[in-house]
Amino acid sequence: MITFQKIRDLERTENSTKELQQLPVTLIEDVAEYLEKKQVKEAEDAMEVESIKRTLRRIFEIREKKILNLVSFSTTTDMPVKNMIRDEAEMFQKIKNHVQEFREINIKRLDRNKPIAKMYQVLENLEQFVGTDEKIYTLKKHDILTFPDDMAELLITKGIIKECEKKDM
């Protein structure tokens, strides 16, 4: 069972280490249930509820900074990351994909003999898969990405992506 003290301990631990700490998988649900049971009856309970919310906000702000640092590290080393809850892992992957695409586009711009990669907008969510270039992709609706030509052709045919026009970008 989650308690205010356990939440404060999570914050202290997260704040005192460089690595992401393992959070309970059901942390958000547990805290929501705990707050629901608190049923604000007195001013003291209301203060505790607000304090819990502020503490959780600080925990996630600390973790977001760590995740942003991991994105930078991971895009150059491809080292696996751990101790993220599901929503954090999704955020991490999205940001990492954008950073990698940004780097690739800028590298390609350095070679003036090659055309700039075509950009595609994702029309439908698609679970994680391995592309023809052996990269792992997770497509989320409205993302803007580049793809190898053969893979782009297939995804366009299936109605999953469309080529971006300059006005879409």
Question: Which neighbouring-strand residues pair with 139?
Answer: 126
What integer pLDDT is reported at residue 166 of this predicted model? 56
pTM: 0.62
Helix/strand/coil for 106: helix
Residue 59 has pLDDT above 90, yes or no: yes
Tens digits of per-residue pLDDT, 76-111? Answer: 887 888 999 989 999 999 999 899 888 888 877 776
pLDDT in tens, 12-31: 999 999 999 999 989 999 99
Helix residue ranges per DSSP H, 4-85: 4-16, 27-38, 43-77
Q: Which domains are assigned to the chain?
A: 4-87 (no CATH), 118-164 (3.40.5)
